[in-house]
Each structure stands twice: as structure tokens, then as C-alpha cells.
Homo-oligomer: A and B are copies of this chain.
Amino acid sequence: MKINVVKSVLDASDAIAAENRKQMDGAGLLCINLLSAPGSGKTTLLQATIPRLGGGASSAVLVGDLQTTRDAERLGPVAAQVTQINTGRGCHLSPEQVAEGLRGLDLSAIEYLFIENVGNMVCPAAFDLGEHHRAALLSVPEGDDKVAKYPTLFQGASVILLTKADLIGVLDFDIGRVEADLSKTNTGAPLIHLSSKTGEGMDAWLAWLREAKAAHGAG
């Protein structure tokens, strides 16, 4: 009985995610769902990424947080459209919330739609929102043991971003351990070292985004 309840909820959730994806495909946009622990630098990354996508690319963000509109306020100056979704006590964005967010956006004007999920290494990984790709962020201060401890976050990612990479030498962080854990968890996704401080890795990340967009448009 319990299993039926859970299953029906997930089925309904997946159906809404599929509907979101169909809508975004219809508009020809690429949607990236950003997942990570709190404070790994999702908002900072988007602040640096969106202005550099260039070529007149129009980007929008749906940003999830329990409370506050702080992230949306930070993203307002760089993104063409931003919607803050407050989840209250909710530990992840749901496809229903994303569907509602999509209704408030002019999808035809968007090329890249970023979903900044609630900062949480566990729950967001369990919910398809309709995105085309997931980007999993791991920040150096979180420690080199997180891939093994939170495998579900990294398993489903198309790209893995090691943020605050300028701190590798400063803090006690063994990149070999991360690579060894990823070799058991996700061998398909590139691991990009990023630093918003030094700019390291931004070109690789932007290239990854443009390739994903081109491949999506062609598909």
C-alpha cells in the first residue's frame, strides 16, 4: 500500500516533468538543472556564465529557495528573465513548481533556461523537472569525500563542476579521491575545474553549454 502511494506520486511527477520538457522542446530552448549543496556557488556561477554566453543568447533562470528572493535579486541584472520559487519547507524543486514557473516566462525568447535547484545534495536528485541536462556542482570546501557519500547527485549529471577550485591548494583536498570516486559513479560526464575568482575553467564550461545547445537543436 505504501509502495503504491509513493509510486503514484512519482509517476504523476514524471508525467509533469515530461510535459515541461515537451513545452521547452517546442520553444527550442536548452534547460540545465543545477544541483549542489548549499553555498557551492550556483548563483555566482550563473552570474558569471550568463553575460559570457554572448552572441545575443537570451538566458532565463528559475531559482528555488526555501525563503528569500536574494538569489533572484543577484540574477536580475544579468538574466533576461528570472523567477524565484520559494518552496517554504520543501527540500527540492518539484516539476509542478517548474511548470508554474514556465507559465510565467516568455519561452520563445529564451535560448538557455537554468534551473537553480534548492541547495541540497540528496532530494533534488530524485526529481526529474523536465530538464535536458543536469549539472552537479561540488565545491572544494565541501571536501573530497562527497562523490562517494552522495552518489545519486553525481550519477545523473551530464557535467560535473568543481567550484572554488582556486582553494584546492589552500584546503586539504585530494582531487585524486574525487576522480577515483567518479570513475565508479559517472564516467560519461566531464569534470570541469572552475573558479569564479581566477576565471579558471569558464571557457570549458561555456564550450560545454554551447555544444549541448547545438546538439540539442540538431536533435
Contact = CB atoms under 8 A, between A and B. Distances in A.
A141 to B, nearest CB: 4
Q: Is the interface of A mostly helix, strand, loop or mixed?
A: loop
A149 B66 contact: yes
Interface in A62-76: 65-68, 70
Interface in A135-161: 139, 141-143, 145-146, 148-152
A38 B89 contact: no
Interface string A115-150: 000111111001000000000000101110110111
Interface string A9-40: 00000000000000000000000000001110
A215 interface: no
Nearest to A41: B143
Contact of A122 (B68, B89, B141, B142): B89
A65 B152 CA distance: 12
Given A89-B126, A120-B91, A145 B70 contact: yes
Contacts of A139: 39, 141
A218 interface: no
A142 B118 CA distance: 14
A123 B164 CA distance: 26
Interface in A97-131: 118-123, 126
A60 to B, nearest CB: 21
A91 B122 contact: yes
A57 B22 CA distance: 61
19 contacts: A37-B37, A37-B38, A37-B142, A38-B121, A38-B143, A66-B149, A66-B151, A66-B152, A67-B151, A68-B145, A68-B148, A68-B149, A89-B122, A91-B123, A118-B122, A119-B150, A141-B141, A141-B167, A170-B170
Q: List the 6 shortest-distance A-B pairs measured between CB atoms, nearest first.
A: A39-B142, A141-B141, A91-B122, A39-B143, A37-B38, A91-B123
